[in-house]
Chains A and B, each alone.
Chain A
């Protein structure tokens, strides 16, 4: 038993005082306490009086018999002072801030009745980092709560952001103060979701979309992802997990889009193509597991950190890119009759989709031109003055507007796996599974889930992962040979796309669950639930693609992956600067050996050692060979690599390196 402001509260295994206090009906203000992250105790907003001592409620374990006071003069004064100090160090341009209205600092300052700040305003001169296509970082708005740091490290397993410097100079940012675009950020946007202020926000592409809409020579087309329809309503105060599919279609037409297509249709198509790929691998004996490729943050993580598994990724484009590709490759003849340029916009719950459209693979074809997150779409609708709630429901456009429940499930963790299983049931003609439709075994919210499903006598081991940190855990287990699966579905964001980085920001921890159960609810009420039975999918194959997995399907709907450098930066010089003096008329040879993780683990240091020994024991080479250790040449899958006079050489070992060097010297 604990007394909270005179109320008796029974202890029931609560981890900290904060939980006990909230059970007593008191909501303490907090910045750095998020239930899914570790307890940090940095913001000091939750200070309470425990038997006369001031303690932070979030990091104090409850003890039987404690007497807690949360609302004394002293505590109110402390809280107000903290907020005032934070505000003095915060860029208070609230009216022009992305987070105006959803800012926690703003809300708590109002809640505590702050009417003036007694401290002089600190100068706000840190440059804003807008290098990333997905996320904008404004250090002048950072209150150093560390939520993003812990989200990125603990949940996403990346550690892109960390604290740096200290005291009054302390800041949060990427390594070496580099711009986000030059480090190994996956663009997942979970940091934006937990940031209490506008220090981290989604890159705003609304002006670009308005420009497209008002351009007379364009034919603007939009597609809407599954998870958008269960979240957009939140931005209009319609409550959590409300379905607004019909209103979205209506609103988008009012905004000026000429066609409104459904990404769920291309999710159905993805399920068909991916299942075809899976069944092909079952026949050929691998490679297993087949990793899903719908999530661009996951794909980028794999390209940067686990290059050895790139061959396991499904070659399918994500549903967003598939639909864009279909519109531009196949449908253009139909819709561009007006003689205008088709521009494809997509509305996504995701910040990484903004990065995906800029991948080198899509540079020429540009299946999708612009990406709006759910939040950005809400802003456009608001800016246009549309009364969203009063909109009459409308339908999506054909030929890419008919959907099945299977494709819809792509919006939540486990959904891609379930859609693939449903498709496999049809393709393998498993009557029982087709009748049953639902695969309960892959559903849930846990970070890593396993299931074994038998379809027409084929045993399929399936694993579902959400959260990139969990994906890493699983990859390590697979690497050690402890786990074997046929299919692994990965969604980078906790909860899957429903909890995506571009969704409306909410302080309510139950919001993700509400969105997910809505998606599942819509599916269960649908008539069409098996992706291959989608008439629009069948028609697409008939008209344009032929069979699943056909050559035309591959040209249109599949892509490729490649190793990706994690961090931009200089090389380490391993020879001195006497080159010019000693070159004796001979051309110098630049040898840059990769010491990025992939090559480093394969022994690039031994290669370098061999080279150093050789150069040192050979006076002719001193000054002629320019030796450097460099970070990642993006050929990680082919053994130790080096760049010799600008040319990439792979598969270098300590045994063959002298031969390689000799050849380069001769050529020079």
Chain B
């Protein structure tokens, strides 16, 4: 990371703490905002938050590990959530997941691509069982997916990603 990126994050971290008035009762919201910025919760950042809120670091760690939405490992830029709730599961969500993993070149047990662009998560229910199997890419919801449609969607996504990378370089 460049100095500019690193400093933006650190400044943002302090802005987040200001925004939440340094209140321990806002811990979950603070962690959410921080994770949005860092894409995960680095240990030293959690220590910093504990120091700022004047609460034990064990409390911050306890909250961060309780909720599935928080990650202690760096996540990819785009998060793909594959629902594996009962409805999605019986309609073949596992095969949908395999198709995505294959497209991204992820091995079993690996959830983030080496280039840190994508993270694939399995979630318990997205609350859209009528559309099963459901996949969320970023904030967008894809319903009634199949391994085949997922391959098409992933191809589009990867092409778009490459294009925006090219633009970044220009």
A residues in contact (CB < 8 Å) with B: 153, 158-166, 173-177, 183-184, 567, 569-578, 595-597, 600, 605, 608-609, 612, 615-616, 622-623, 629, 631
Residue pair B44, A571 in contact (C-beta under 8 Å):
yes
User: Are A573 and B46 also in contact (CB < 8 A) when A153-B56, A158-B56, A159-B55 are?
Assistant: no
Q: List 23 A-B residue pairs with CB atoms under 8 Å apart, sorted by A's residue number.
A: A158-B56, A160-B56, A163-B62, A163-B66, A164-B61, A164-B65, A166-B65, A175-B46, A175-B50, A175-B60, A176-B57, A184-B56, A569-B44, A569-B47, A571-B44, A573-B6, A574-B7, A576-B5, A577-B2, A595-B48, A595-B51, A597-B51, A612-B11
Question: Once the chains bind, are B7 and A612 in contact (CB under 8 Å)?
Answer: yes
Give the 5 A-B residue pairs with the shortest CB-CB distance, closest first. Answer: A159-B56, A175-B57, A162-B58, A576-B3, A576-B2
Residue in B3, B58, B62 whose CB lies within 8 Å of A615: B3
A308 nearest CB across to chain B (Å): 15
In addition to A183-B58, A615-B3, 4 A-B residue pairs with Cβ atoms within 8 Å of each other are A162-B59, A166-B65, A570-B43, A608-B10
Partner of B45, one of A164, A567, A572, A608: A572
Contact (Cβ within 8 A) B43 A159:
no
* Contact for B1 among A159, A571, A577, A595, CB less than 8 A: A577
Q: Judge whether B7 and A159 touch: CB under 8 Å.
A: no
A574 touches B6 (CB 8 A): yes
Q: Which residues of A contact B62 (CB under 8 A)?
A: 162-164
Report the separation of the CA atoms of residues A165 and B72 in the bound assembly, to the nearest whole angstrom.
11
Contact of B7 among A175, A575, A595, A605 (CB under 8 A): A575
Pair B45/A175 contact, Cβ less than 8 Å: no
* Interface contact B44-A576, CB-CB below 8 Å: no
Residue contact B3 to A161, C-beta cutoff 8 Å: no
Complex-state Cα separation, A165 to B66, whole angstroms: 5
Contacts A153-B56, A175-B60: A631 and B47 contacting too (C-beta < 8 A)? yes
Chain B residues whose CB sits within 8 angstroms of the CB of A615 once the complex forms: 3
Bound: A574/B45 CA distance, A: 12
Q: Which residues in A have their C-beta under 8 angstroms from that of B168?
A: none
In the bound complex, CA of A174 to CA of B59 (Å) = 9
| B54 sits at the interface (CB 8 A) | yes
Please tell me if the beta carbons of A166 and B48 are within 8 angstroms of each other in the complex: no
Q: CA separation between A622 and B48, bound complex, in Å? A: 24
Q: How far is the CA of A175 from the CA of B43 in the complex (A)?
A: 9
Q: Does B52 contact A (CB under 8 A)?
A: yes
A159 and B59 contact, Cβ closer than 8 Å, known pairs A572-B48, A595-B48, A629-B10: yes
Contacts A158-B56, A175-B61, A575-B3 hold; do A166 and B66 have CB atoms under 8 A apart? yes
| Contact (Cβ within 8 A) B47 A567 | yes
Q: Write out the residue numbers on chain A whose beta carbons fall within 8 Å of the beta carbon of B56.
A: 153, 158-160, 162, 175, 184
B57 contacts A616, C-beta separation under 8 Å: no
Is A576 in contact with B46, judged by CB distance below 8 angstroms?
A: no
- Give the distance in Å from the alpha carbon of A254 to the alpha carbon of B36 in the complex: 66
Q: Is residue B14 within 8 Å, beta carbon to beta carbon, of the partner chain?
A: yes
Q: Are A631 and B44 in contact (CB under 8 A)?
A: yes
In the complex with contacts A166-B65, A175-B56, A176-B61, A576-B1 CB distance below 8 A = yes
A500 to B35 CA separation, bound complex (whole angstroms): 42
Residues of A within 8 A of B59 (CB): 159, 162
A578 adjacent to B48 (CB under 8 Å): no
Most buried by A among B57, B60, B66: B57
Interface string of B24-50 (1 = CB under 8 A from A): 000000000000000000111111101
Q: Which residue of A lies closest to B7 (CB)?
A: A612
Contact A600 B58 (CB under 8 A): no
B72 → A minimal CB distance (Å) = 9
- Cα–Cα distance between A162 and B58 once the two chains are bound (Å): 6
Q: Are A578 and B58 in contact (CB under 8 A)?
A: no
**Distance from B78 Cβ to chain A, minimum over Cβ atoms (Å):** 23
- Indicate if the CB atoms of B14 and A605 lie closer than 8 Å: yes
B58 contacts A174, C-beta separation under 8 Å: yes
B56 to chain A, nearest CB (A): 3
**Chain B contacts for A571, CB-based, 8 A:** 44
How many angstroms between the C-alpha atoms of A612 and B42 in the bound complex? Answer: 21
Q: Is the CB of B2 within 8 A of A596?
A: no
Residues from chain A with Cβ under 8 Å of B60 in the complex: 175
Shortest distance between the CB of B108 and any CB in chain A (Å): 20
Determine if B4 is an interface residue (Cβ-Cβ < 8 Å): yes
A40 to chain B, nearest CB (A): 15
The reply to whether B48 and A629 contact each other, CB–CB distance below 8 Å, is yes
CB distance from A575 to the nearest CB of B (A): 5
- Min CB–CB distance A601 → chain B (angstroms): 9
Taking CB atoms, residues of chain B closer than 8 Å to A153 are: 56
Closest to B67 in A: A166
Name the B residues within 8 Å of A612 (CB-CB): 7, 10-11
- What are the residues of chain A within 8 A of B50 when measuring CB–CB? 175
State the Cβ distance, B81 to closest chain A Cβ, in Å.
19
Q: How far is the CA of A48 from the CA of B80 in the complex (A)?
A: 47
Measured CB to CB, the closest approach of chain A to B155, in angstroms, equals 33
Chain A nearest CB, measured from B148 CB (Å)? 34
Residues in B with CB closer than 8 Å to A160 are 56, 58
Report the separation of the CA atoms of residues A622 and B6 in the bound assembly, to the nearest whole angstrom.
Answer: 12
**C-alpha spacing A161/B64, complex, angstroms:** 15
A573 CB contacts on chain B under 8 angstroms: 6
Contacts of B43 in A (CB 8 A): 176, 569-570
State which residues 120-163 of B face A: CB under 8 Å: none
Chain B residue nearest to A174 in the complex (CB) = B58
Bound-state Cα–Cα, A572 to B14, Å: 13
- List the A side residues contacting B3 at CB < 8 Å: 574-576, 578, 615-616, 622-623
Q: Select which of B44, B55, B57 is within 8 A of A572 by beta carbon.
A: B44
The minimal Cβ–Cβ distance linking A378 to chain B, given in whole angstroms, is 32
Closest Cβ of chain A to B117, distance in Å, is 19
Residues in A with CB closer than 8 Å to B58 are 159-162, 164, 173-175, 183
Whether A576 contacts B57 in the complex (CB less than 8 A), given A166-B66, A569-B43, A629-B48, comes out as no
Question: What residues of chain A lie closer than 8 Å to B51, measured between beta carbons?
Answer: 595-597, 600, 631
Contact B10 A572 (CB under 8 A): yes
**How long is the Cα–Cα vector from A166 to B54 in the complex, in angstroms?**
24
